[in-house]
A = this chain, B = another copy of it.
Amino acid sequence: MTTKLTEKARGVYIIAATPFTDDGALDLQSVDTLTDFYIRSGVHGFTLLGMMGEAHKLAAEESIEVVKRVISRAGDRQVIVGVSHAGLENVRRLGHEVMVAGAAGVMVAPPPGLKGDDGIYNYYAQVFEALGPHIPVVYQDYPQATGVYLPPSVFERLVDDFEQLVMLKHEDAPGLAKLTRIREGEKKPGRRRVSILVGNGGLYLPQEMRRGADGAMTGFAWPEMLVQVYELFAAGKAEEAEDLFDIYLPLVRHEVQPGIGLALRKEVLFMRGAIRSPRQRAPGLSLTATDRAELGSLIARLERRLAASGQHKLAAE
């Protein structure tokens, strides 16, 4: 039994991959090993059924099965579950179902087509009414996928009016100025400071931490790096954090490639023993021999740089 998500949330909430067997069945045994892998990597929480990844390829009952399986194994780590849906009734149903199952909170992205500042505010007002006051909510701000830009002033109106809005999943691009703008707005007397976890594969993690992010919510296949960078920042060692980050940056950049990034991520998780098959559910890209050789070469370079920098290999590997 975990606590509910609050504005104090910080650290790395890993966006978990969804493992399948070679013939495309949901692989619950790999869900377990992957959950354990993430825990060994030091993650502070989990995010399931987000926009990216393969959650949208699951049947409804499979989705719930994955949520329950991860929660049962996550111990006291919080699990956030994406419940975005075209119909608010389904947001409500799924929201309550996952909270009963032990989720710490839910994440909701705006549907495409919301119009104007008021369109966004009014949609979330409906979401909060549908979910009720007791389910903590994360605003998933990913306009590259939704087409909905969130003005900071609208986010502030929502924070001021709805106590259950406790976190911003920050994934706008460009997003650095927005992060700063929100943190500055929070200095207004009476406004709550909410948790901000960043996405975009972690590509700007050090810059975002310096500007006031509380951690990351992304799925980089070496989560221990995200954790260490977070912890070094927490310890006030920003430059060391960024030094470490930069060692991994070539692979962070490699993994954020649109279209093929997920295949690369699952390949790494497979190579690291976290899942039994790198397969995606169809339709999905698979890697060529050239892609695999290239990935191998980048990993070899990573290992050389880690060794040269005196970093130890991590327990997770």
Contact = CB atoms under 8 A, between A and B. Distances in A.
B126 A282 contact: yes
Contacts of A115: 149, 151
A174 B116 contact: no
B151 A87 contact: no
B258 A250 contact: no
Contact of A89 (B204, B282, B291): B282
Contacts of A154: 116
Contacts of A126: 282-283
B123 A283 contact: yes
| Residue of A60, A119, A282 with most partner-chain B CB within 10 A | A282
Interface string A89-118: 110010000000000000000010001111
Given A149-B116, A282-B126, A294-B210, A173 B57 contact: no
A173 B118 contact: no
A28 interface: no
Contacts of A130: 282
A24 interface: yes
A177 B61 CA distance: 36
A54 interface: yes
Contacts of A54: 87
A246 B250 contact: yes
B253 A177 contact: no
9 contacts: A56-B87, A57-B87, A59-B93, A89-B281, A119-B151, A174-B261, A176-B294, A204-B254, A246-B249
Nearest first, the 8 closest Cβ-Cβ pairs linking A and B are: A57-B87, A116-B151, A60-B60, A174-B259, A88-B282, A56-B86, A117-B117, A115-B149
